[in-house]
Structures are given as C-alpha cells and as structure tokens.
Chain A
Amino acid sequence: MREQILEILRKDARTSSEMIADLIGSDAETVAKEIAEMEEEGVIRRYKTIIDREKAGDERVFAFIDVRVSPTRGVGFDDVARRIYRYPEVHSVYLVSGDYDLRVVVEGETMKEVAFFVADKLSTLDGVLSTQSNFLLKKYKEDGDIFDDIEEDTGRLLIS
C-alpha cells in the first residue's frame, strides 16, 4: 500500500487521496491516514514543485564539486559533510565511492560566486584535501524528469 501510494505521489504530489484510493482500490480515508503516518514518520518529508529553471528565466548556475576528504580521528566524513550541507548555497551532498568522497552540488547567482564559495568555504575546511568543480551546462534529465524538449508525437489514431 505504502509503496503504491509513494509511487503515485512521486509522479504527481497533488494526486488527491480520493484519486489514489481509486487507483489502488482502497478508500480515501485509509489512504489519507497512511499518508499522514508517512508524513509523521518522515518517510514523506515534504512536497515540492519541479521547475524548469531555464523556462522560468532563472539564470543561476550550478556546479558539481568533487571533494576529497581525509577523515582524521574525531573528524569523519559525516562531520565534514555536515559542515558543508548547512550552507544555503549547497544544493545537495552525497558520500560516494571512487576517486572522490563527497559530491557536492552548489548553486549561485554567477560562476564567480560559486567559484569563490568553493575556494573560500569548501577547500579551506579541515579534512578537505582537494576539490574539483564541474559547472553544469545543460540539464537533460533530473530525478526521472526529462528537461530536453523533444516532442514525441505518436500520431495515434483516435479510434482503432
């Protein structure tokens, strides 16, 4: 039940409890209760809107910063990550395997602003060995949503 509700809400967070109930063969009350419980437990954190920033005229820049960290006694990955993610300009932070340890997504008004943030705030943190910045040039797909406008016109007949 939860899995089904989440799958539907992931696609459209505005789907009503009534509609979800119809879709999965339950009743609106049960669904609403389940959703409330998931909100309570933090399974559902909050509901956001997916915006095509480019179309919205939003010119902010994004960069993926690969950060190498040398954890020391008393300062682990979590500590470094926490110091990083508290900055509002930090969009997301992941601990990853491979050559780098943290993948940080930073947003800013201009490239310069992002670059300064990295130089000033990230690379100077205790435990941070190096950073490598990659600026986002074009977003094709994010979180399952395709931002690349090529219309698929199926030309399906109306009656067949």
Chain B
Amino acid sequence: MKPISQTVEHYPPSGIRKFFDIVSQMDDVVSLGVGEPDFVTPWRIREAAINSLERGRTSYTSNWGLLELRRVISRYLEGYSGLCYNPENSVLITVGVSEGMDLTMRTLLNPGDEVIITEPCYVSYKACVELAGGKAVTVEAKKERDFVVDPKDIEAAVTDKTKAVLVSYPSNPTGAVADKKTLREIVDIAVKHDLYIVSDEIYDRLVYDGEHVSVPTLPGAFERTVLLNGFSKAYAMTGWRIGYAAGPTEVIKNMMKIHQYTMLCAPINAQNAAIEAIVNGAKDREDMRREYGRRRRVIVKGFREAGLDCFMPGGAFYAFPNVESTGLTSEEFCEKLLFEHKVAAVPGTAFGACGEGNIRCSYATSIEDIVTAIDRIKAFVAGLK
C-alpha cells in the first residue's frame, strides 16, 4: 500500500495514552488521572434525553444545531456575562469543545499561520493548530506565576505570521485561573497586533475563589474572540459530546461550513439534553462545583503534607503538585507511583515540555479515593528520602 499522509503518520500520539495503556492492565489502582467528572450526568438531564427518545426525536438537526438550544445558550450567555450573540448566525453547536477547537483552527489558519499557545496546556491545542496547517508557537506559563502566562511573553512571541492567541482559563492541567488584569493585557496585545483570540472556557463554571472572567467581555475582545464552551465538565456530560462556539458571525459562519460537510450536526439527543442542562441544570451544576471545591482543599493539603510543593488551584478539577524535590522527573515519579503504590497520575510533560517537574492530579474522584491516594503518595515520597 502507498503510505498514508506524512503529516499524520509522523504525528505523535497523546502523552496521556501511554499511561492509560499501562493502567488498564493493573488492578486496585486509585486513579487521579481522570480528566472528567466522576459524577453521572444529573438525572433531570438524562430524563430529558430519555423523554426525547421516547418522542422519537432521532433525526438530523439544522447544521447549526437546534435553534432552541442556540437560543437558550444565547440567553444564558447574556444573563451570565452580558454577551449578546445572535443565535441565528453567531452560535454553532459542536461535538464538544474538541470539534469547536478543530473548526476554529481550520477556519482561521492559512498554511504557516502562527497561533500562540500557552503551555502546559490541554493536549489537543497544538495538534488542532498543526493538523490545520498552522504553526503552534508555545510560550511557557511559569510556576512562579502560579501557571498564569505572563502577557509579556505572549507579546514577545508575536511575529508578522501570528494569526491568533489561544487562551484557556481555568486551565487543564494546572487548575490556574487568570486574573482580569492579565486577561486584559492579553486582549490588548491581540488588539494591537490585530490577532484573533480563541478562548476555551470549558471550565468556566468550575471556579472556586471569585468569579470567572470571560474573555469576550473584555474591552476590544468581543469582535475578535471565538468563545468555545460545552457541557462536558460543568454538567458532567463528557460522553454526550456536546459543546458550542460563539463569536464573530463571519468566523462562525465559516466554521459552520466545515462542520456541515464533516459533522453534519451534533447528536440530536445530546442537544435536547443540553437544553435541559442550560434551562434547569444550575442547581446540579452548583452542587458538583461545591463538592469539587472541597476535595480540592483536601488534596492540596495532602500533597503539602507529603512534602510536595503545590499551589492552590483556582479552578477546573486538577491539582498540579511539583515533584522536583524528590529528585525524580515527572515521568519517573508517575511510573514509580503507579507500579509501586498503584496511584495513577499524569506527568506534566504530557501537556508540554515545560510541565516537567509537575504532575497532574485530578480531584474529580471520590473523597475516599483521594484520601487513599494521598496516603499512598505520602508513603511513596517518604520512602524516597
């Protein structure tokens, strides 16, 4: 056979994958490696989906997604952050933020266009940029700044090829939340150099101290920002595969073109479930948030007691403790921890080279499991001394 696409053939698989393959062969592992809620989708949402199936709603929808869903999202965004998106042509229902990210990059980029990405970051960003023919330019969010990027580093990375800057707070894998001032500075840079902003705000509802700042609400940002969000994290709906993109009509319309040919539409049942989530899901969402917020304190305290440096993450459901004091690399630490003490975590390097020295630990895990994991980590770290 002729070789497949060179780009794809030589493209590295996700760094998370490797650990997954090991863990699935082992018993009694307590996993802090999970990037999704441990809650089942709230019953009212599941029930809405069952009802929608019983009524025979099994067809395609408009390529844009159900108008009712777009309307409730638009109204929700207006009430939540004061943003006004026309549901007819500025909101697109996608198959998760994953598809939204891919569409955004394919829509914005010409071959060779650069996108500035802050690492450590979610594994798909770089791939979405590069597979769309763009060039990912990475800047490092430093530990000293609790993993919030320094806007100066973004500005220094701007070239005449730069097309967009990708922002993602609260962050996977660090749990960092950017303050308003930092975000404003990033927006100002985007305005100054006429860049698009792509803002992945999928963890916006999982913020524990203070309020989330939505990037398109900042002065100058609205007309140049593609806002990506979804239902996976806030409503514990990862498997439903449902998200949305909202932004300038020109961009969204063109994203819709690709979506129309490649995805046709997001699954109708998930769209109907999402309507229920937006309209009636606030209390369930808030209950889950409060629960994560509590576990966060327990896990961070646990790492500190184990002798690992760990900053208090402000959002998402990840802690990002530093393991340099053990003399091990992130990967060595995670491997030993897994093989010798049966706790799974993901090395920071899976999220970019600058994640070296840290590990990602998800607290979307029962408090019992967190306590067990912490006990094992304490034993592990103590044994290394």
Using a CB–CB cutoff of 8 Å, the interface residues on chain A facing chain B are: 19, 22-25, 152, 154, 156-160
Could you list 8 further interchain pairs (A-B, Cβ under 8 angstroms) beyond the known A24-B294, A158-B344? A22-B298, A23-B295, A158-B23, A158-B33, A159-B31, A159-B34, A159-B344, A160-B34
B72 interface residue per 8 A CB criterion: no
Q: Is B384 an interface residue (CB 8 A)?
A: no
Residue on A with the closest CB to B36? A160
Of the candidates A22, A25, A156, A160, the one whose C-beta lies within 8 Å of that of B20 is A160
Contact assessment for B294 and A23 in the assembled complex, using a CB-CB cutoff below 8 Å: yes
Instruction: Report the minimal beta-carbon distance from A109 to chain B, rounded to whole angstroms.
Output: 36
Contact B38 A156 (CB under 8 A): yes
A156: B residues at CB distance < 8 A: 34, 36, 38
| Residue in B24, B294, B298, B367 whose beta carbon sits within 8 Å of that of A158 in the complex | B24
In angstroms, Cα B298 to Cα A106, docked, is: 43
Closest 6 CB pairs of A and B: A159-B33, A23-B294, A159-B20, A158-B31, A160-B35, A158-B23
Which residues of B have CB within 8 Å of A25? 297
Cα separation A157 to B344 with both chains bound (whole Å): 12
Interface, chain B (partner A; CB < 8 A): 16, 19-20, 23-24, 29, 31, 33-36, 38, 40, 294-295, 297-298, 301, 344, 346, 367
- Beta-carbon contact of B298 and A160 below 8 Å: no
Nearest CB on B from A119, distance (A): 41
Residues of chain B lying within 8 A (CB to CB) of residue A160 = 16, 20, 33-36
Question: In the bound complex, what is the Cα–Cα distance between A157 and B33 (angstroms)?
Answer: 9
Query: How far does the alpha carbon of A19 sit from the alpha carbon of B374 in the complex, in Å?
Result: 13
Return chain A residues, CB-CB under 8 Å to B38.
154, 156
CB closest residue in chain B, given A15:
B367
A158 B297 Cβ-Cβ under 8 A: no
A154 near B301: Cβ-Cβ < 8 Å: no
CA distance A109 to B164 in the complex (A): 74
Taking a contact as CB atoms under 8 Å apart, the answer to whether B36 and A159 are in contact is: no
Closest Cβ of chain B to A125, distance in Å, is 41
* A152-B298 CB under 8 A given contacts A158-B23, A159-B20: no
Report the minimum CB–CB distance from B318 to chain A (whole Å). Answer: 12
**Contacts of A157 on B, CB cut-off 8 Å?**
20, 34
Given A152-B40, A154-B40, answer yes or no on A159-B23 (Cβ-Cβ < 8 Å). yes
B344 touches A23 (CB 8 A): no
Across-interface contacts of B23 in A (CB, < 8 A): 158-159
Given contacts A22-B297, A22-B301, contact A158 B40 (CB under 8 A): no
Query: Closest residue of chain B to A154, judged by CB?
Result: B40
Cβ of A152: which chain B residues have Cβ within 8 Å of it? 40
Q: Which of B19, B297, B298, B301 contacts A159 (CB 8 A)?
A: B19
Task: Name 25 interchain pairs, CB-CB below 8 A, sorted by A.
Answer: A19-B298, A22-B297, A23-B297, A23-B298, A23-B367, A24-B297, A25-B297, A154-B40, A156-B34, A157-B20, A158-B20, A158-B23, A158-B24, A158-B29, A158-B31, A158-B33, A158-B34, A158-B344, A159-B16, A159-B19, A159-B20, A159-B34, A159-B344, A160-B33, A160-B36
Closest Cβ neighbor of B31 among chain A residues: A158
A154 neighbours in B (Cβ, 8 Å): 38, 40
- How many whole Å from B260's CB to the nearest CB in chain A? 29
Expressed in whole angstroms, the Cα–Cα distance for A158 and B34 within the complex equals 6
Give chain A residues whose Cβ lies under 8 Å from the Cβ of B295. 23
Q: Which residue of A lies closest to B345 (CB)?
A: A159
Nearest-CB distance from A22 to chain B (Å)?
Answer: 5
Closest Cβ of chain A to B174, distance in Å, is 17
A160 to B36 CA separation, bound complex (whole angstroms): 7
Task: Provide the residues of chain A in CB contact with B344, threshold 8 Å.
Answer: 158-159
- Cα A157 to Cα B34 in complex, Å, equals 7
With the chains together, A25 CA to B290 CA distance in Å?
A: 12
A47 smallest CB distance to B (angstroms): 19
Cα(A156)–Cα(B38), bound, Å:
8
Which one of A19, A23, A24, A159 lies within 8 Å of B346 (CB-CB)? Answer: A159
**Cα of A120 to Cα of B85 in the assembled complex, Å:** 70
- In Å, the complex CA distance between A23 and B297 comes to 6
* Chain A min CB distance to B292 (Å): 11
Determine the distance from Cα of A23 to Cα of B367 in the docked complex, in whole angstroms.
10
* Residue numbers in A under 8 Å from B20 (CB-CB): 157-160
A19 to B297, CA, bound (A): 10
Minimum CB distance partner of B365 in chain A: A156
Q: Contacts of A24 on B, CB cut-off 8 Å?
A: 294, 297
Q: Which residue of A lies closest to B300 (CB)?
A: A22
Contacts of B297 in A (CB 8 A): 22-25
